[in-house]
Chain A
Amino acid sequence: MEAPQYVAARVQQALAEDGRTHELGIRVDIRGDQLFLRGQVSGSEQRERLGQVAHETAPELHVHNEINVVEATEPGEDEHLD
């Protein structure tokens, strides 16, 4: 059986290189037959696509998509540089 580290690396590479996602900052962890995705993206569609690509890359694993969708809020306080 392929070591989980290599499977995780393969999934992470797929998330970065697949034309549907191109997401570089997603953390992939594998525990037994469970695969966990963590990180932040800007939209829920992107989160779903990442889950889909991860599933296709490692169909034998159960994918837990724990990616957060972070919406940029209003600009906050100014910083004065002096």
Chain B
Amino acid sequence: MFILPAIKIAFRGLRVNKMRSGLTMLGIIIGVAAVITMLAVGEGARESLAKSIASLGSNLILVIPGSTTSGGARMGTGNTNTLVPSDAEALDGESAVDAAAAMVRGTGQVVFQDRNWNTAIIGTTGDYERIRDWPVSDGRFINRQDIDGMTKDCLVGTTVVQELFGNEDPLGRIIRINQVPFTIVGVLQKKGQSLMGQDQDDVIITPLSTAMSRLFGKTSVNAIMVKGKSDGVMNRAVEQVKTLLRQRHRIPDGGDDDFSVMNLSEMLSAAETQTKIMTILLGAVASVSLLVGGIGIMNIMLVSVTERTREIGIRMSVGARERDILLQFLVEAVVLSLTGGVIGILIGVGFSTAISQLSRFQTSVSLFSVLLSFLFSAAVGIFFGFYPARKAAGMDPISALRYE
């Protein structure tokens, strides 16, 4: 008997037992849908992380004030006022450093005519554009003259443009940030969400000097962002940053740093690896349900073989050979698991789409996960269908016929 009639016979067998076939498939459907969804969630997380990493800029080192505790870097505990703008200028001269920009952060109430908006304010220098890889879409970035002359020029992110100007052209307009009038000299390109899920385009960038003295009244900066020359010199860049800052801050040998240096690129790629591991883990957990589905198939197939002993006897009496019976039950199992697999893939894709639509969580169904699920369900069918099929094929014709 060839495979085609076997498939025909198998489909007949499944059609005759619609209810049972459906219930058997349910296990596989749930398993495959779970695998697809889990992988999509993991893959989506990885992709959005990768996007955020790309949006942050490459080869980044972040320097913040305050010392590193033994527990590792603590972001945002810059409670000492040790970093100053000239530190950034000095770092810029190091051999492994491409650029360095000091920055102050805060929030501000922005008013344009009768509209107002609360947004994040970053005061920084011209190098910030290159370090963050964040060019303007219109106008110009902050430059040397702005810093030196403490001008009241500023750049606006797209969200701010939308909130204050709608469709009007914001270039050259004057807005008030915390009562201080600023002229808009540039519009930043859209950047999207940050790692923490914040809208990075809800921002206004002003010259560092202006922000420090006119907006926040600060003498120290919140952070210095340093861009290494290349991937390969990041460790050296970190060393140079540390050495120079210790020197400038006159820290004696053996004394603790009064700043913390983080290699962001390294941390982020570590995070990416972790997300990958998480994806694999999620997939593995979901695979367990697929396995349970497979055991369900075996269970039902065994029951089915026993229940259909007479049928097997009848088939043998009209000339079915062992391999015909084996093939029949094997194909039935594979058809069950594959049909379940395909339905499961459809449901999984639907689920993933629903998740990314209904929540802000990004999901991404990869061709790989679809193929994997498909092949896996076929394998489940063959593996768990084999034993029952073997059992059916090994029956003795006369005892099978006599079976009540």
Co-complex (A, B):
no
